[in-house]
Amino acid sequence: MAANPMTQFEVYRIGPEIKVGAFDISFTNASLFMVISSLAILIIFNLGSKKNSILPNKIQLLAELSYSFVSKMISDTAGSKAKPYFSFIFSLFMFVLFCNMFGMIPYTFTVTSHIIVTFILAAFIFIGVTVIGFIKHGFGYLKLFVPSGVPIVLLPLIVVIEIISYLSRPISLSVRLFANMMAGHTMMKVFGGFVVSLGIVGGWLPLSFSVALTGLEILVAFLQAYVFAILTCIYLNDALNLHH
């Protein structure tokens, strides 16, 4: 019985082993779903931008609504200076959202339930935001760690706390997404396993739980993608509009 709730997170090779030097870059099920998600995004948005009619059809409406949704999110949180980073945040939001959503289909693999994937994304954002901050403000960016209006006595403590909180950003960002995805999928698997083990008599209760959890997990899949994107916007805002 494949009831182990953790087996769904296992990565296995699809096709031959590919090695570049010492590194194993074989195509795995994780790679497969990254490719599927990216392709799905590209296909949907390509179809949605192909034809321009004054009255958009459904797929065009979807693409344009997503565009204005992300656009509004960025302008609300990071202001107009964040416009050059729109493409990146849009890709990020869509990638995380589609990976999460594809993970909701039974027997699929959830790319974002792996800490290494979310950590690489978060680390890239962290490094990118820090570099942008230093480019825009020079060493003045370090003022981020010195909040204004703090008593001089408390300042050393506050600065240390600020630095720790700044450095923990990639960890919190990546662990939030990874843990949410993993916990949700594990829980669904556990309840699914209960349905099987309790059988036709007692299986109805966990089944109803499972149904409810599916709805919740779809919500979480969207919400975590949104949170991931909006936190990126907030970090970007710190780097662009230094207001501490």
Partner 1 sequence: MFKNLFLYSLIANFFFTKKIFAAESGGMPQLDPEFWISQIFWLVLTFGVLYIVLSKLILPKISANLELRKSQIQENIEAAEKQRESSEAKLKEFDGIILKSKIEAKNIFKDAREKVIKNINSKKEILDKQIDDEIKKAEVEIDTLRQSASEKISKIAVVTSTEILKKLIGAEVNNSSISAIVDDLVKKNGDKYYGH
Binding residues for partner 1, rule: CB under 8 A, are: 3-7, 9-11, 13, 23-28, 30-31, 34-35, 37-38, 41-42, 45-46, 48-50, 52, 54, 60, 63-64, 67-68, 86-88, 90-91, 94-95, 111, 113-117, 120-121, 178, 182, 186, 190-191, 193-194, 205-206, 209
Q: Round to whole Å and give the CA distance between 188 and 182.
A: 10
Q: Round to whole Å and give the CA distance between 113 and 99.
A: 9
Beta carbon nearer to partner 1, 72 or 244: 72
Q: Round to whole Å and give the CA distance between 214 and 220.
A: 10
Closest approach of Cβ 134 to partner 1, in Å? 22
Beta carbon nearer to partner 1, 1 or 152: 1
Closest approach of Cβ 82 to partner 1, in Å? 14
Phi first, then psi: give them for residue 131, nearest 5 degrees.
-65, -45
Closest approach of Cβ 140 to partner 1, in Å? 29
Place of tokens 């027997």: 107
> Which of 237, 217, 194, 243 lies closest to 80 in space, CA to CA?
237
Beta carbon nearer to partner 1, 66 or 144: 66
Q: Round to whole Å and give the CA distance between 98 and 40.
A: 8
Beta carbon nearer to partner 1, 144 or 181: 181
Strands (DSSP E) contained in 23-70 are: 23-24
Closest approach of Cβ 3 to partner 1, in Å? 8
Structure token pair of residue 181: 């995805």
3-state secondary structure (DSSP) of residue 150: coil
Beta carbon nearer to partner 1, 2 or 152: 2
Beta carbon nearer to partner 1, 50 or 143: 50
3-state secondary structure (DSSP) of residue 149: coil
Closest approach of Cβ 37 to partner 1, in Å? 8
3-state secondary structure (DSSP) of residue 196: helix
Closest approach of Cβ 124 to partner 1, in Å? 9
Closest approach of Cβ 133 to partner 1, in Å? 21
Beta carbon nearer to partner 1, 82 or 144: 82
Phi first, then psi: give them for residue 19, nearest 5 degrees.
-125, 130
Facing residues of 28 across strands? 13
Which residues are CB-neighbours of 53 under 8 A, at least 6 positions away?
A: 60
